[in-house]
Structure 1
Amino acid sequence: MTFHSRIRAAGVVLATLSTSVGAQDTPTLPQVVVTARVDSASAFDLPASLDVVELGDGSARPQVNLSEALGGVPGLLARDRQNHAQDTQLSIRGFGARATFGVRGVRLYADGIPATMPDGQGQLSHFALAAGDRIEVMRGPFSALYGNSSGGVVQLWSADGGEPTRVDLRATAAAYDSLSASARVLGRAAGTGYHLAASVFDTGGYREHSAARRESANLKLHRDFAGGGRLELVGNHFRAPDAQDPLGLTRAQVREDPRQATAAALQFNTRKSAAQDQLGASWRQPLGDSAQLRLTGYGGSRSVVQYLSVPVAAQASPLSAGGVVDLDNGYGGADARASWQGRVGDGDFEFTIGTSADRQRQWRRGYENFRADGAGGVALGVRGALRRDQRDVVDNFDQYAQAWWEFAPRWSLQAGARHSVVRFRSDDRYVTATNPDDSGRVEYSQTTPVAGLVFAAADDLRLYASAGRGFETPTFNELAYRADGGAGLAFDLAPAVSGNVELGAKWRNDAGAAIEAALFRADTEDELAVARNSGGRSSYRNVGRARRQGAELAADVPIGPAWSLRVAATWLDAYFRDGFPLCTGACPVPAVAVAAGTPIPGVPRHFGQLRLQWQGGPWEAALEAWANSAVNVDDRGTASAPGYGLVHVELARQWRAGDGRLRGFARVDNLFDRQYIGSVIVNEGNGRYYEPGPGRAVLLGLEWQLR
């Protein structure tokens, strides 16, 4: 079926929905989603795909990785890599799929503070699920109002403290020597609400050489003032020392033993240490009866030391940056926006205008991952001679405006635009006779307009269409090496620019049932892709046009008083529209052709989740089914990871314990012990693309809540 025929078929489905549900009672609409930045209308009335994942009570997971919570969001793929030295793989509608570490192409926020740097590189590791209240996810054209690399937006929000005081203690034990513990207290003192949470996670790892430890602490304070003013302060601490990295495996190694580590991982003791501290403040102040001012500021530091498996011979090149990465980051920024709500004509109207500025200063050093051991040999996996020393600065200065208007009884319009300027500057301080000065600078700018129209076909049904423009600059890591292998940074890279369209429908009723469906297409010019992987370095180039199109469906269905069903399904067709050449090794001229129509790697064509839940008195149970189709692992489309289906089950019981509540829970992941590839390392230069998922695993947990 073609994309256009799918649109016609969806029109028939939407018309049928309109007829069948028009007689239902007026539904209770959901609360406003902060991510939408519209206070006058609920998420149900906006022309965008918006999901809220509640993180409160009732989890039967370890609360370590964001991938635990996001399986039920259509269009979003979050993969647990079973490798805590690397971040969760996260992509939305195919954007961000090329990332081999960190998150690219998707904007991340924690309590309103950016977790994505100005260059578009984001981190999820400090997202503290133990302190979380909800996650908000935006997909589609309106994501562009968040600026560079907005293929989608993911925001984690922690709960407000209030009365009565609440204390939560939680602990889990799971397979592979995995233990987690968390504690949080929420309350109010002297008119100030507080929420303090801390957690620790230790694991021996599913695979050999994959042990890790994570520690985090989060503090949120808020105070309300006379006249409607509100001040919030947020602090975060994260530490992950010496997380082991087992690296990827070849298909032959997966068949031989999926739990093994690559020999190079053991040889070089590949590992990563990360630490992050951050403070943020937000002020909201009404200005009269119809206007409001919001100010946000933040600052922080993040350090990373990572030992790679770059062969000693590859570091013989005078242009090599070595095999140890040492990064010290300082970052900060501010956002200011004003909004006005009132009436225009016969309808409600809201207008927002704002500006934001962010800056990241990075001291990047590289060292050899070997040194002479004093006995005529070479010690591997240790810090050796300096091979890179540079100071990098990236900043952005953006202005944005957005309006929402209910211009007729059944019609509303949302429109906006954002202008972004992103500047990169690099100061090279490692200059030798054979390694020239790589200093340089480059500036990118783009205006991204977006608009959407909503038709209220019935009290409980909304049909909408939206269109917009988005862009994605290369990150500093993607600028680090030139595609031709020469000295200097790849300042010839252009930003990828996308045109996005979406058609959708939303239906809800008072009984709690809800259906949301969307068709989408994003056409990208100057798509960024890997030019070559060689000697432990990845370089990138613009490869022409790409397309990401598909359909999403999400449904919440109550089944009687005790049962409920949640379904999320995605069809996604992502491919390169233009052919392009690439290198498969250290070649002076790209000689391998990627044909037009080749699927973009890292993107399954079909994926989804079903969750059936039962609650009867103090008992709870749930069954989950996950399915992913096969996924290409390289740009050439010559290798792929097979599709898989998994089943997980949960059981929990709670008891009253004085003024509190005690809850015990158990979960069995991969009930039928299927072997599968849980994630892939796109375009891995040694053919080690595959990161196997674990077999059957049991988790036991206990939580105590005192009010």
Structure 2
Amino acid sequence: MVRLCFLFFIICSSFFSSQKRDSAELISEVTIDAYRKPASYITSTKSVSVVSKELLNQNIPERMLESINQVAGARMEERSPGSYRISVRGSTLRSPFGVRNIKVYLDDFILSDASGNTYFNLISPELINRMEIYKGPEGGDFGAATGGTLLLQTRSSENRSAHLSAGSYGTFNQSFDVSKQAGNHFFEIFQNYYRTDSYRAQSAVERKQIFLKDRFQYSTKGTLNAMVLWSDLDYETPGGLTLDQMYSDRRQSRPATTTLPGAKEQNAGIRNKMILAGLSHQYNLTPEWSHFVLLQGSYVDFENPFITNFENRFERNFAWRTHLTYEKKWNNLALAWRLGFEGGVNTIFIKNYDNKRGSEGNAQNFDRLQNSSGFYFISQKVNFGEKLFTDLSLSLNYNRYQWEKLFPVVESGNVHFKNQWLPNIGLTYLIGKGFSVRAKIGKGNSSPTNEEIRSSNQEFNFSLVPEYGWNKEIAVRKQFGNLFFVEAGYFDFRMKNAIVRRQNEKGQEFFMNQGGTIQKGVEVLLESKKINLQNTFFSHFKLRLSGSFYQFEFENYKQGNTDFSGNDVTGVPSTTVNSLLNFVFFNKLSVDYSHFYTSKIPLNDANSVWAESTLIGNIRFGFPVKIEKTDMDVYLQIQNLYNSEYVLGFDTNAFGNRFYNPAAKRSFIAGVKVNF
């Protein structure tokens, strides 16, 4: 792969003199939204990566894994189809599945609940038109999280399209999208249906989704946004295998033992229905002053037939956000000041039964949990002479919960975590056009989620406390002419009271605070423009190369009489290198050739079991077809091009060494996207 990249560097250089200015935006001129705090990428003080529509096209219909994994410092894992984890700088230490310790927003709206859990797998990749990934704590703008923040954005321009695809293992996907400006309204209607039998036994997936939004510009000063998202996800969970079981039959689900039934026998899976609706309002009071307010609510119906029980969860969520902004520009000075609040309440009713082959049996435990959280924040941006850019923010965060045992015993109580002040300071200096250096320091805090306070062992854990830590980083961004963009950064994050996952002999999980972590790393990105090679056969070329190089270790971590201090942090590879090469032939045929290298991974805290390193290749062929006013993109995607045997998501610290969830061998997806 290195030789191939070097070869194309030479090719690019030979055509440099004839390179014409691309009509597309320069990389250094990309604007980030930062939740209504726009800034150019080159001058931003944030540790942020932008996932463009071009990168999102690398995804297969069920997930956003391919595009997220092209970002240095971000990693998405798939334990089984439909069951995902997202890690930003190793933040999945405590996540057996799902997204925790990362805030997620969809346009103006908040996908994460008040406890910090996000049902990310309910979102169709095709709904998302752009993504911003913020790495590390951003407490002054987004509140309590030590991992990072994801801002997902839907379409903001007119579009009429339909998509149909099919592929290996019974995969079928259909969607349509209509986005249109009609007078003062910009509306979008999106619908998606997806299903697959998947590679392993007991791993079928079915997802249905409808998304509606309306942006109403009712005056020159005011805009009202409305949104409704409905999603219905049903996926089977095959369970983890031991190494011997994986070598014996990669496609089997977790088999039965002498004491416990298997995943297929118990019809193990997740059935998750959610509806989310909200309103947001932006009003410009004067040329300098503006006000924003958001109100939203959601309902979740969650079922989880598991090996040892059948769990029902009914969740009600309510959230709000408001801020007052002042902006003023003078000759050599620009000021932006913001004062606001974001809060939420999550009420969850949990019912556990015996699992009778996928149906409810005798009652085990009924509990209720209500989590309330929020943060007051103030931020100030001051730019001096278009050279020095500063961003100072501070938030006061609170988190508390009330718990009730309803059956078979009746008890109740409440826990209030200590309020946390979270400061963030960022500085960027523009050395020259397209060349900046930045420095940042900030504190992060992350409280236990509902699923950690009351985990699958059906016990409340009142001893859990939030994890917290300070993050420091420096970075440089450089645009080389109109051809290449390079970014390199170093960070040092020290976390205390790290929340780690454990499993009992039944495979039920529980969590505890254990010491801390020392997390140091370097992240790099090299990206080229789309280079016009002035050649009919080999028309265009583009390169993207990213890498993460980490040294993550436990600190003051003892388990009984065993000291794990100095061990590598579980589940985090020390090195990941990802590349995407785009070729265009005959000004028509587009070829995206991507690679994902992951170094070996420690699978338990003792570092006694490691996963081997992997190199996975994907390729996508796209060919545009135009029929009168209709544009079509006919494509073929080949996943796992080299037919490797690998695991895309491990069950770390699994009891009985059931770490392994084998990923699919080589697979194919063919489809057509039609723009009307």
State the partner residue of 2:178: 185
8 A Cα contact 2:122 2:233, kept in partner: no
Q: Which moved more, 1:516-525 or 1:74-83?
A: 74-83
- In structure 2, the partner of 1:430 is 407
Name the amino acid aligned to 1:412. F
Evaluate the alpha carbon distance shift between residue 512 and residue 152 of structure 1 in structure 2; reply closer, same or farther with a 3 A threshold.
farther
Q: Is the 8 A contact 1:438 1:489 kept in 2?
A: no
Map 1:642-657 onto structure 2 (within 5 A).
642-657=612-627
The 3-state SS of whatever aligns with 1:130 is helix
Q: 1:220 aligns with which of 170, 189, 213?
A: 213
Mapped partners of 1:460, 1:56: distance in 2: 22
Does the Cα contact within 8 Å between 2:379 and 2:392 map onto a contact in 1? Answer: yes
Which secondary structure does the structure 1 equivalent of 2:126 belong to? Answer: helix
Distance verdict in 2 for CA 1:30–1:332, change over 3 Å: farther
Task: Please tell me whether residue 351 in structure 1 is matched to residue 328 in structure 2.
Answer: no
For the residue of structure 2 that corresponds to 1:125, the secondary structure is: helix
Contact 2:59 2:125 in 1 (8 A): no
Distance verdict in 2 for CA 1:144–1:695, change over 3 Å = farther
CA distance in 2, matches of 1:438, 1:684: 31
Tell me if 1:151 matches 2:176.
Answer: no
Superposition map of 1:149-298 within 5 A: 149-160=145-156, 162=158, 166-241=159-234, 243-263=235-255, 264-298=262-296
CA contact (8 A) 1:110 1:127 kept: no
The 5-angstrom pairing of residues 350-429 of structure 1 reads 350-370=336-356, 380-407=357-384, 410-429=387-406
Q: Counterpart of 2:426?
A: 452
Match of 2:355, as an amino acid? N
Aligned to 2:291, the other structure's residue is in SS state strand
Task: Give the superposition deviation at 1:569.
Answer: 0.5
Which residue pairs with 1:491 in the alignment? 462
| Alpha-carbon distance, 1:699 to partner | 1.3
Most deviating of 614-623 and 420-429: 614-623
Instruction: From the superposition, tell whether residues 261 and 473 of structure 1 become closer, same or farther in structure 2 (CA, over 3 Å).
Output: same
Shift of 1:31: 4.1
Matches within 5 A, 1:612-627: 612-616=581-585, 617-627=587-597
Alignment-derived partner of residue 501 in structure 1: 472
- Partners of 2:568 and 2:594 lie apart in 1 by 29
Q: 1:596 to 1:505 in 2, by over 3 A?
A: same
How far is 1:134 from its partner? 0.5
Q: Counterparts of 1:694 and 1:76 in 2: how far apart (Å)?
A: 22
Residue number in structure 2 paired with 1:34 = 33
User: 1:535 and 2:506 equivalent?
Assistant: yes
String of CA shifts for 1:375-402, please: whole Å, max 9, x gaps.
Answer: xxxxx44311111112211011310011
CA distance in structure 2 between the aligned counterparts of 1:671 and 1:267, rounded to whole angstroms: 33
Question: Alignment partner of 2:138: what SS?
Answer: helix
| Whole-Å separation in 2 of the counterparts to 1:531 and 1:89 | 17
**Structure 2 Cα separation of the partners of residues 272 and 593 of structure 1:** 36
Residue 455 of structure 1 aligns with an amino acid whose one-letter code is: Y
- Residue 448 of structure 2 corresponds to which residue in structure 1? 474
The 8 Å contact of residues 666 and 700 in structure 1, kept in 2 or not, is answered as yes
Residue in structure 1 matched with residue 564 of structure 2 by the alignment: 595
Q: 1:143 to 1:51 in 2, by over 3 A?
A: farther
Q: Residue in 2 aligned with 1:606? A: 575
**1:387 counterpart SS class:** strand
Rate the CA distance shift 1:382–1:686 in 2: closer, same or farther, 3 A: farther
CA deviation digits over 1:328-348, x for unaligned, max 9? 001011100111111479411
* Counterparts in 2 of 1:477 and 1:534: CA distance versus 1, 3 Å: farther
Q: Distance in 1 between matches of 2:637 and 2:573?
A: 26
Q: Deviations over 1:272-308 (max 9, x none)?
A: 1110001011111112111211111111101111011
2:573–2:599 contact (8 Å) kept in structure 1? yes
CA contact (8 A) 2:79 2:651 kept: no
Matched, 1:335 2:312: no
Distance 1:210 1:606 in 2: 30
Q: Is the Cα contact below 8 Å between 1:111 and 1:234 reproduced in 2?
A: no
Aligned equivalent of 1:464: 438
Give the CA deviation at 1:191: 2.7
Shift of 1:60: 5.4
* Kept after mapping to 2: 8 A contact 1:599/1:632: yes
Contact 2:209 2:231 in 1 (8 A): yes
TM alignment of 1:542-553, pairs within 5 A? 542-553=513-524
Deviations 1:75-98 (Å, cap 9, x if unpaired)? 0001233332x2x11100111333
1:241-276 deviations in whole A, cap 9, x for unaligned?
Answer: 3x2110011111111121111111122121211100
Q: Unaligned stretches of 5+ in structure 2?
A: 1-20, 256-261, 533-539
Partner of 1:19: none
Partner of 1:569: 547
Distance 1:60 1:254, change over 3 A: same
1:512 positional shift: 5.0
Cα distance in 2 for partners of 1:136, 1:30 equals: 15
Contact 1:161 1:194 in 2 (8 A): no
Judge conservation of contact 2:240–2:254 (CA < 8 Å) in 1.
yes
Q: Which moved more, 1:408-417 or 1:605-614?
A: 408-417
Q: Distance in 1 between matches of 2:674 and 2:455?
A: 51
Give, in angstroms, the shift of residue 629 of structure 1. 0.6
Matching residue of 2:138: 142
Q: Is the 8 A contact 2:422 2:442 kept in 1?
A: yes
Question: 1:308 pairs with 302, 306, 309, which one?
Answer: 306
d(CA) in 2 for partners of 1:261 and 1:394?
A: 35
Partner amino acid, structure 1, of 2:114: P
Give, in whole Å, the separation in 2 of the partners of 1:389 and 1:191: 49
Gaps of 5+ in 1: 1-24, 311-322, 371-379, 582-590
1:694 paired residue number: 664
CA contact (8 A) 2:35 2:108 kept: no
Using structure 2 for the length normalisation, give the TM-score.
Answer: 0.90
Distance in 2, matches of 1:493 and 1:576, equals: 18
> When the two structures are superposed, what TM-score results if normalisation uses the length of structure 1?
0.87
Say if 1:160 and 1:194, in contact at 8 Å, map to a contact too.
no
Residue 637 of structure 2 contacts residue 669 of structure 2 at CA under 8 Å; is this kept in 1?
yes
Q: Distance in 2 between matches of 1:696 and 1:456?
A: 46
Structure 1 residues 695, 358: CA separation in 2 closer, same or farther (over 3 Å shift)?
Answer: same
Contact 1:181–1:199 (Cα < 8 Å) also in 2: yes
User: What whole-Å deviation, never above 9, does each CA across 1:128-152 have from its counterpart, x for those lacking one?
Assistant: 3222211111113435631122411
In the TM superposition, residue 36 of structure 1 has moved relative to its aligned partner by 5.8
Residue by residue, what CA displacement relative to the aligned partner does 1:651-705 show, whole Å, maximum 9, x if unpaired? Answer: 1111111111011101111111111111101222232111111111111111111
| Change beyond 3 A, Cα 1:220–1:409 | closer
RMSD over aligned CA atoms reads: 2.2
| SS at 1:80 equivalent | strand
Matches within 5 A, 1:672-683: 672-683=642-653
Amino acid at match of 1:246: P
Counterpart in 2 of 1:316?
A: none
SS at the partner of 2:122? coil
- 1:420 Cα deviation after fit: 0.8
Residue from 120, 130, 133 that aligns with 2:129: 133
The alpha-carbon distance between structure 1 residues 342 and 559, as it changes in their structure 2 partners (threshold 3 A), is closer
Distance 2:460 2:571 in 1: 26
Alpha carbons 1:223, 1:232 under 8 Å: kept: yes
**Kept after mapping to 2: 8 A contact 1:140/1:520:** no
Which residue is 1:318 aligned to? none
Measured after TM superposition, the shift of residue 566 of structure 1 is: 0.4
2:519 is the counterpart of 1:521: no
Does 1:76 pair with 2:74?
Answer: yes
Distance in 2 (alpha carbons) for counterparts of 1:646 and 1:331:
39
Give 1:197 deviation, angstroms.
Answer: 0.7
